[in-house]
Amino acid sequence: MFIKRLSPDSLIIGAPAKVNLFLQVLDKRTDGYHNIYSLFQAVALFDRLTITRRSEPGIQIELVQKTAGPALSVGPDNLIARAYRGVAEKTGLTEGVFVRLEKNIPIAAGLGGGSADAAAAIVALDALYDLNMSQEVMAEIGLGVGSDVPFFFGGGQSLVSGRGEILQPSNFPLDYWVVLVTPPIAVSTGQAYQSLGRTGLTNPKRPFMLDRCGSTDEFFSELKLIGNDFEENHLRSFPELARIKDELLRSGAVLARMSGSGPTMFGLYRFAPPAELDSFVAGDGWSVHTVRPVVLPVCGSQHWGGDRGDYRDSGHPQE
C-alpha cells in the first residue's frame, strides 16, 4: 500500500489490483472453501481512498466510481465497512472514519479490488490511530473479511495456498507489461467453483519450479505450464472471453489467460504492447488497462516505517 499524509487526521492510500498469474483449485475444505494454489502479483492499477478521522463511532463511505459495470454498494456489507468493524473488534477502536473511495479497479472482475480496498482501510486505520498492528494481526482481521485480503499486506508477489491465508513471498521477475481487459460479463465466484465439480479440481497440485525462473523468459516458460482451472469452463460459456484471449495473443502477448474467477483476461508482454491494442480488444462498456507489476511496502514490519510511502509511487494516478 502507498500512503500520503494530508494532515494528522487524514491520508490518501492507493490500493492496487492483483492478477492470478496461475490458479489451481484443489480439494474442498471442511469450512466450505476450496484450497487453492496460485501466484498473486500486484499491478499498477489503483483504487484511491481518502480517509479522515471522525470523533463519532462508525464509518461513512462516499463512492466516486470511475469504472464501467455494476454499481458498488457502500452499505454495511461493503468490504471496507467490514474491515473497519474487524479492526474495532480486535483493537477496541471507538472513533470513526470518513472514507472517500475513488474506484478505478473494475468491480467483481477477478482483480481483487474489493479485497485491496479492505486491506487499505485496515492499514489506514492503523496509521491514523497509531494502533501498531503487526502484519499477522492485519492478516487475521483481513482474512475475516475475505480470502484475498491478507495478500495485500505483503510485498506484492506471493505464492498463495490454503484458502488464501498461506502466503509464501516470492521474488520472480517483474520486467514485463500486463494488459487487463474486463468485458461487462457477470461471473459469480460461487457458481464458478460449483461448475468445476469434482472432476475439474486439480489434484495433486503441480509445484511451481522456483529454480527455473531466473530470467523473465524462463519465468514465462514456467507460467505456460500451469493455467487457471476456471478458464476452460468460462471460455466455453462466454465466447467473448475466448476472442479477447485470441486478440491478446495475436497482438504479441507471450501468454494470455483469465485472472481469478474472471471475467478479466490478461496478456503478458515482454516489451511494451502496441499502442493501438485498445481498439482491437475493447468493446462498449469494457475496461482496458496497460500496467506494470509493482512491489509493495510490507505492512506491520521493519520495512513499514517513516512516512510510509507515497501513493503516487509505481504508477498510481496523480492528483
66 given a catalytic annotation: no
103 given a catalytic annotation: no
Catalytic residue among 47, 126, 148, 229: 148
255-258/177-182 β-pairing: unpaired
Catalytic residue among 18, 103, 117, 126: 18
Which one, of 21, 31, 33, lies nearest residue 110 by Cα? 21
Backbone angles phi, psi at 267, to 5 degrees: -120, 140
CA 175 to chain centre: 19
**Cα separation of 5 and 308, whole Å?**
9
Active site residues: 18, 148
